[in-house]
Amino acid sequence: MTTITLSKPRAILLFPYLAILSMLGFLATDMYLPAFNQIESSLNIDAESVALSLTLFLGGLAVGQLVYGGLCERFGKRATLNVGLIIFTLSSVLLAMVDNIESFLLLRVVQAFGACAAAVIWQSIVIESFDEAAARKLFASIMPLVALSPALAPLLGSWIVEVASWQHIFAILALLGLCLAVMTPYLTPAAKRSSTSTENAQSRMKVANILGNKTFISNVIIFGACSAAFFCYLTLWPAVMQHHGYDAASIGLSFVPQTIAFMLGGFICRRMLKTMSAQRIKNTLMVGFIVLSLVLFLLSMMGAGLMAILWVFALLAAINGAIYPLLVTDALSPFANNAAKAAGWQNFIQLAMAFAGSYLVALNAAYVEQAIGSGIIICALIALSAWVWMNWAQWKHEWCAPDPARIALKVVMCEKTATVGDTCKREAGQSTEALLQNKLIKSDAGNRDDKA
C-alpha cells in the first residue's frame, strides 16, 4: 500500500473529488429522468425507446466494471481514469447534439462505459492510499453522499428542463466530466513502474484469486444482498403507494425518510469507529439487518399498513448506510496493493444481485407490498448465510475450544496439590527419620541395661 502525500490545497480538494467520482454514474443515470417527455417529442419516438436508453446504460455500467481493473494493471489508475472521463465527456457532448434514437442509444452505452472508470477507480484509490481505519472513515463519509445523489439528481434535472432543455442536462454532465479529468493528474497517484518482470507479473491478479478469496466474496455477497433488499423496495414502492391511492407528490416525499436515514447511518458509523472495533460494529449491524428484514416481512404479510413498512424500511436503510463502508473496506483490504480489479468485480456482483432482486419483485408486482417483504427476506437469508460462512471457523473455535479460565483454574489447583503433596512427603520423611532415631536410642538403652 502506498500513502498519498498531498499538499494542503490538494488534501482539501481530494474529498470532493472522490465524492463526485463516486456519484458520477448515478448522476448520469437519474438526472435525465424528468426529461423523458421532452426527449420523446424532440426525437419523435415512443416512451419504450427512451426507457430502453436507461436499461442499456445500466447494462453498460455493469459490464464495464469488469474491464477497468485489467486496464489499471496495464496502464495505471491515473491514465485509465483520465481515458474513462474523456470518453464520458465526449459521449455526453454528442448526446446533447443527437437527432435520432439509434445514436442516442449507442452513445448512452458509451457514456456508461466511461462512467465505469470513476465507479471502479475511486474505491481503489481509497483502499490503496490509506490504511484500513482511515479508509473506513472515508467510505463512511462519501457513501452517504452517493445515496443522496439519486434523490437530488432528478430534482436538478427537473430544474434544468424547466429553465432550458434536455440537451443542457448532458452538456452539464460533459462539463462535470471535463472538470474531473482536469483534476485527475493533480490528485490521483501516478503508476509505479515495476523494477522487474517478476514484480510486474505478481502485481497482476487473476480473477480466480479474487473470487476465491473468502474474505472478499463473503463481504461482497453481504454487500450485494443488502443492496438487493434496497432495490426490492425502490422498484415496487411507487406502484404500491399508487395502488393504495397516493398521488405523485406523496410518492416522491415517501423516499425522503430512507434517504436521510441512509445518510445518517453512514455518519453514525464514522462516529462509532472512534470507540468500537469495526468487526463488532459489523456484527451488530448484521443482527439489526436480519431482525428488521424479518419484521418488515411479517408486517407486509399481515397487512399492517404502508406507514409501518415505510418507517421500518427507513431503519433498514440506516443500517445499510452504516454497514456499506465496513463491507467495502473489508472486501477490498486483501488487495490493498492492487484493488482496481477487485473493486470492479465487487461492483459487478453488487449490481447483478441488485438487478436480480429488482427483477424478482417486478415479476410479482401483483402482490404489491407482500412482494417487497418476500424479496427483502430472501435477501436477508442470503446475507445471513454469507455472514455465518464468513465467521463459522471463528465461532466454532470460540464455542468448542476449552475455556481458558477453566484451564487456568485447573493449573492453579494442580500446582496447589503438588505443593501440598511435597509438604506431606517432607513431613512423612521427617516423621520416619524421628521414629528410627527413637528406636536406636531405645536399643542402645537396652544394651546398657543388659551389660549392667
Q: Is 200 a residue whose pLDDT tops 60?
A: no
What are 137-158's pLDDT values in tens digits? Answer: 888 778 777 767 766 777 788 8
What are 64-77's pLDDT values in tens digits? Answer: 888 887 787 788 88
Nearest Cα neighbor of 348 from 68, 122, 81, 147 is 68
Residue 290: partners with Cβ closer than 8 Å, 6 or more residues away: 380, 383, 384
Q: What angle, rounded to 10 degrees, do the helices at 369-400 and 278-302 form?
A: 140
Least reliable range by pLDDT among 49-53, 143-147, 177-181, 282-286? 143-147
- Residue 214: CB atoms within 10 A of its CB come to 11
pLDDT category at 402 given cuts 50, 70, 90 is low
Q: Is 199 a residue whose pLDDT tops 50?
A: no
What does the buried/exposed string (b/e) look like for 255-286 if buried means 16 or more CB atoms within 10 Å of the residue's CB? bebbbbbbbbbbebbbebbeeeebeebbeebb
Q: Could you tell me the sign of the dihedral formed by the alpha carbons of 429, 432, 434, 436, in that order?
A: negative
Chain mean pLDDT for the chain: 80
The pLDDT score that the predictor gives to residue 25 is 84
- Give me the amino acid identity at 446: G
Q: Is 3 a residue whose pLDDT tops 70?
A: no
| Higher-pLDDT residue of 374, 266 | 374
* Residues above pLDDT 70, as percent of the chain: 81
The pLDDT score that the predictor gives to residue 193 is 47
pLDDT category at 8 given cuts 50, 70, 90 is low
pLDDT category at 94 given cuts 50, 70, 90 is very high
Mean pLDDT of 257-286: 87
Backbone conformation region of residue 205, classed left if phi is above 0, alpha if psi is from -120 to 50, else beta:
beta
- Determine the Cα–Cα distance for residues 429 and 436; give it in Å rounded to an integer: 11
pLDDT category at 196 given cuts 50, 70, 90 is very low
Highest mean pLDDT among 287-291, 327-331, 337-341: 287-291
The pLDDT score that the predictor gives to residue 433 is 54
Mean pLDDT of 241-246: 82
Tell me, what DSSP letter sits at residue 273? T
Question: Where does residue 88 rank: exposed (0-12), middle (13-18), buried (19+ CB within 10 A)?
Answer: buried
Question: Where does residue 215 rank: exposed (0-12), middle (13-18), buried (19+ CB within 10 A)?
Answer: middle
- Determine the Cα–Cα distance for residues 345 and 336; give it in Å rounded to an integer: 15
Residue 157: partners with Cβ closer than 8 Å, 6 or more residues away: 30, 31, 32, 33, 34, 35, 169
What are 18-28's pLDDT values in tens digits? Answer: 888 888 888 88
The pLDDT score that the predictor gives to residue 409 is 59
Q: Under a CB-based contact definition with an 8 Å cutoff, are residues 316 and 111 in contact?
A: no
Q: Is 118 a residue whose pLDDT tops 50?
A: yes
Residue 199: partners with Cβ closer than 8 Å, 6 or more residues away: none
